[in-house]
Structure 1
Amino acid sequence: MTGKQFSSVWLREPRKATSPGRSREEIVSAALELLDSEGLSGLSMRKLGAKLDAGATSLYWYVANKDELLELAYDEVFGEMIVPAPETVGWRDAASAVAYSMRQVILRHPWTADLIGRLAALGPNALRVTDQMRRSFSLAGFEGIEIDYANATLTAYVFGMTIPEVAWNNSVAQGQIDESSLRESVERLVADYPDLRERVTASAYQDPQAVRAMCFDFGLVSVLDGLEARLVR
């Protein structure tokens, strides 16, 4: 079976604006506002046209479809990530900075969690982040395909920790979960497990956001320690 032929907005030169004040940058900025406020389901060419006071048809001068618009918005988000030069700060600090920044960017733009693994990140900002991360692991001493393995390990950790956090935040924001009643229920259900009961009722767990941040920090240091240990061997 032959799959659908790959296409991307990045495979052609951007078209010039057709009217004063209307540009691809303006369209992407408006799309980001819609995505941040309403999520993926809230973005449509019709809504975007109305927001820009332009017909949806005119937007197709810049993008062939909604997927291309998402590509542009997705790459704009990658541009917010901090990517220090590993040659200046060292490979571990560079990798850490990217990981922390990547988590914050995903939390700030929760709709991106639904695009990870579904939409190819091939824009200039995404490629810059990827290149800097590969340079970090190359500087550390990894070689060949292991540079890609190390890179994939770090990004998988960030995604694995952050995507469930986004899902939880969305559920709370949409009123699907009441945190106080959930806590009471969990405390009752773990009553026969003293260690679990102690952890659930610990004062540290009264601030879930702080716990998630500390958990992310613990795991990130552990991942980097493990990668460094492989180099020592």
Structure 2
Amino acid sequence: MASDPRRRRAARHAQADAGVAVAVRKAPITVERITDAALQVVAEQGYDALTIRSVTNVLGTGPSSLYAHIVNKADIDDLLVGRLCAQIVLPAPDPARWREQIRDVYGQLRDQYLKYPGISRAALAMVPTNLEALRVAEGIFSILLAAGIEPQAAAWGMDTLSLYVAGYALETSLVRQRQKAEDETWVSSPEELATRFSALPEATFPNTRKHVTELTSGTGHQRFDFALGLLIDNLAPAPAAG
């Protein structure tokens, strides 16, 4: 006698669900999956929460599975920076538009950093080895060289610009994080700062009181563009020989 159709259907579903579960458990650990998991940790908990253990927790595996693909936590940092750099669109160097091009590339990098709280720390105090990070560095260097900037100035200028962008993104991420914390009430808005500066003793802080508007004006990105402009404008092309 044939069994109850509903039981047969339930059995089929159970087998299918078990097959999916086994497939998920047996999915191989790869560099791509490690990078995805690390980004998930940073997106959900911030860069400070990124450890070998937190990545393995996302992947549902143990540290030994990661060490088959990476050497240490610095390797994960390199992978993260490479993944972000893979999103950067590089222009063909144009000497007539080199300042605009540099601003655009670093603006893209800033925006990538800001998607993940504190992730720009991964780019600080390290020499990138990821091919995508090196691709972006090559692109920036090429723009500066095409503009006629001496190689030494271009190299150090690129380093300075990269450091500023990473630092700006890190500070912005920290401020956003502190603004979300209930016990971090000391993080003031521009309006609150203006009120506090205006209330300072004039005899001691005459210039601060006089220029409250200038000291508290501008959005973060406006100040970013201003500072980036200062750095770029000091990378003047070498004077023509003759």
TM-score normalised according to structure 2 size: 0.71
Alignment correspondent of 1:4: none
Alignment of 1:187-202 (within 5 A): 187-189=198-200, 193=205, 195-197=207-209, 199-200=211-212
Q: How does 1:149-168 map to 2 (within 5 A)?
A: 149-168=156-175
Q: One-letter code of the match for 2:151?
A: G
Shift of 1:27: 1.9
Q: Is the 8 A contact 1:90 1:136 kept in 2?
A: no
Q: Quick check: 2:81–2:123 contact (8 Å CA) kept in 1?
A: no
**Residue among 162, 179, 183 paired with 1:172:** 179
Query: 1:141 and 1:211, CA in 2 relative to 1: closer, same or farther beyond 3 A?
Result: same
The secondary structure found in structure 2 opposite 1:227 is: coil
Kindly provide the amino acid, as one letter, of the partner of residue 188 in structure 2: E
Give me the whole-angstrom Cα distance separating, in 2, the residues matched to 1:220 and 1:128: 21
Change in CA separation of 1:190 and 1:172 when aligned onto 2, cut-off 3 Å = farther
Q: Distance in 2 between matches of 1:46 and 1:153?
A: 33
1:121-170 deviation per Cα after TM superposition (whole angstroms, max 9, x unaligned): 21011100110011001100123323213323432443454443333333
Report the equivalent of 1:148: 155
1:131 aligns with: 138
Unaligned runs of 5+ in 2: 1-24
Answer yes or no: is the 8 Å Cα contact 2:86–2:132 preserved in 1.
yes
* Counterpart for residue 185 of structure 1: 196
Q: Is the 8 A contact 1:103 1:158 kept in 2?
A: yes
Give the distance between the partners of 1:160 and 1:47, measured in 2 at CA. Answer: 25
Aligned equivalents of 1:75, 1:57: Cα separation in 2: 23
AA matched with 1:65: N
Provide, for residues 3-53 of structure 1, a one-character-per-residue CA deviation record: whole Å limited to 9, x for no partner: xxxxxxxxxxxxxxx954542212210111102222333123333223222
Aligned sequence identity (%) = 23
Name which of 198, 217, 224 aligns with 2:232: 224
Residues 7-26 of structure 1 aligned to structure 2 (within 5 Å):
19-20=26-27, 22-26=29-33
Q: Is 2:81 aligned against 1:69? A: no
1:34 to 30, 41, 56: 41
User: Match of 2:34, as an amino acid?
Assistant: I
| Residue equivalent to 1:109 | 116
Gaps of 5+ in 1: 1-17
Distance 1:38 1:83, change over 3 A: same
- Greater shift, 95-104 or 217-226, is seen at 217-226
Listed one character per residue, the Cα deviations across residues 50-104 of structure 1 (whole Å, up to 9, x for unaligned) are 3222233322222233232222123212223332221498422221111212222
Q: Which has the larger displacement, 61-70 or 162-171?
A: 162-171
Runs of 4+ residues deviating >6 angstroms: none
Equivalent of 1:58 in 48, 62, 65 = 65
Matched-pair contact (CA < 8 Å) for 2:35–2:76: yes
Q: SS of the residue aligned with 2:235?
A: helix
* d(CA) in 1 for partners of 2:98, 2:207: 38
May I ask how many residue pairs the two structures share in their alignment? Answer: 211
Distance of 1:197 and 1:131 partners within structure 2: 46
Inter-partner Cα distance in structure 2 for 1:79 and 1:56: 26
Q: RMSD over aligned Cα, in angstroms? A: 3.2
Stretch moving more, 178-187 or 57-66 = 178-187
